[in-house]
Amino acid sequence: MPKSHRDHLLYDAPDNVAAVNAMLIGTATVHDPEYAAALENEPSDEEPVTCVYSVHDVAWEWLDLEEIDFAYEDAKQEHLAECVECREESDCVCAKWEEINDHFECGPGGRAYADAPWVLGDDGKWDAPGCTIMLIENETTVQLVKSPETWRRGWCSPCYPGQCDADAEGDVLCFRLPNEYLRGDE
């Protein structure tokens, strides 16, 4: 059975890299306990973990998924809660919303995709109930957080604690993007 992500960063890396990783883990333990805890998770043969791909590995033209920009949708919900004018309409129509909307159209932001509609839960979090595939797009990576397919890969860099790297050989069970959504020879 593979060891925790933390152990991999400390014991499977060259000495100079392991020393830097040790400093990062020490700092994270003090300043971001949730991050540190994610590194401690030991992999399971029953629960796959998230797998991280390069954004260039995904055949975006073949994805037929529901898209959401969490930051945009959260800003819209916050605006609707505060703006009487927009609450009374079926859509945001005021000048303040136009300013917010222009910012998001021009600005970068992570997006998420799923094969089911996104809904805002009572807890204020977005979810796609019943989906079989869900991924989060960042500037250079895609985190596959749910998929009908799994495979075994190696741990990712410390940037993605408790997650696997699609390009790293290893024994950790993680989600796999189906071949029809990949470019190249996956």
Same domain? 115 vs 146? yes
Digit-coded pLDDT (tens) for 79-131: 888 887 777 666 677 878 777 777 665 445 578 999 999 998 899 888 999 99
Residue 186 lies in a domain: no
Q: Model confidence over 11-57: pLDDT tens digits?
A: 888 888 888 888 888 887 788 888 778 788 777 888 999 999 999 99
Of 109, 136, 166, the residue that ends a domain is 109
Helix 15-31 with 33-40: angle, nearest 10 deg: 130
Q: Which two tokens stand for residue 94?
A: 């005021």
What is the maximum alpha-carbon separation in the chain?
62
Residue 54 domain-assigned (yes or no): yes
Measured CA to CA, the distance from residue 63 to residue 108 in angstroms comes to 20
What b/e readout covers 140-173, taking b as 16+ CB neighbours within 10 angstroms? Answer: ebbbbbebeeeebbbbbebebbbbbbbeeebebb
Average pLDDT, the chain: 84
Which helix (H) or strand (E) element contains residue 23? Answer: helix 15-31
Residue 131 CA to residue 119 CA, distance in Å, equals 12
Residue 85's domain comprises 70-109
Let me know whether 165 and 116 are in one domain.
yes
Q: Are residues 95 and 16 in the same domain?
A: no
Let me know if 178 is exposed, middle or buried by CB neighbors in 10 A (0-12, 13-18, 19+): middle
Residues 97 and 162 occupy one common structural domain: no
Same domain as 132, residue 59: yes
Whether residue 152 is found in the same domain as residue 88? no
Pick from 81, 109, 137: which residue ends a domain?
109
**Is pLDDT larger for residue 28 or for residue 59?**
59
